[in-house]
Amino acid sequence: MKLFHAKILLWLAILFSFTVSAQASQLDELQSLARNGAAQLALQTMDRVQPDLLRDKKQWVEWEKARISIYQYSNDWQALAQRVDELPTRLPVDFMRWVQTEQARAFIMLGQGKKAVWVLQNLIWNLPEDKAVTQKWLPQWRRLVIDSYINYQQNEDAKIAATRYYQGIKEQQVDDLLLRAHIYLVNNLPGDAQTILEPHKDDMQ
């Protein structure tokens, strides 16, 4: 009897591995389809074959990440933002942080910076006292807050957010310097913009 049970468990394990492998292969094919211009077809197929959330939450999450990526491939920012709003509850915390971060990016692309700020502030306020989590997420959220403020012309808030963000960053890329200069310019501070750029003018040629 024990041998019989062991064979059943082995068979189930093999079947599960084949199922996961087949799902991964199918997901790769759908993403490739989307990248080649057939995003709607890929999404319609996903609606039919995405694993059930209650039966396999891990696979469902992987498919949902792929769905979000397809929206991004096709620049369908409205669909992305709406999809996040309609997600079920009790999903993995790290997945929710990722997908809401992508929703904030979508709002920025839609010119809805105020909504992006609301999403990002909610993420920041709910950040746990965990150093690893903070290091992973907080810098990118603060950077997106700057973009969000610029997006809906809250120039003073953008300057304050940029000052807070960049004060701890010693080595800054050209894009960072140009962003800071832009923020000073829209706040009618051309002298500060020049001060930022002058030491790096050779790097920008």
Span 35-62, pLDDT tens digits: 888 889 999 999 999 999 999 999 999 9
- pLDDT tier, 148 (very low <50, low <70, confident <90, very high otherwise): very high
Give yes or no for a contact between 28 and 42, defined as CB atoms under 8 angstroms apart. no
Q: How far is residue 63's CA from residue 183's CA, in Å, rounded to a whole number?
A: 39
Give yes or no for a contact between 94 and 132, defined as CB atoms under 8 angstroms apart. no
Q: How far is residue 138's CA from residue 63's CA, in Å, rounded to a whole number?
A: 26
**Single pTM value for the model:** 0.83
pLDDT greater than 70 at residue 13:
no
What stretch of H or E contains 139? helix 131-151
pLDDT greater than 70 at residue 74:
yes
pLDDT greater than 70 at residue 16:
no
**Helices 77-85 and 93-109: angle between axes, nearest 10 degrees:** 140
Give yes or no for a contact between 101 and 72, defined as CB atoms under 8 angstroms apart. no
Q: How far is residue 150's CA from residue 179's CA, in Å, rounded to a whole number?
A: 10
Q: pLDDT value at position 24?
A: 64
Nearest to 30 by CA among 71, 58, 88, 84: 71
What's the rounded mean pLDDT across residues 124-151? Answer: 95
Alpha helices, DSSP H, located in 74-130: 77-85, 93-109, 113-125
pLDDT > 90 fraction of the chain, expressed in percent and rounded: 70
What's the rounded mean pLDDT across residues 87-109? Answer: 96
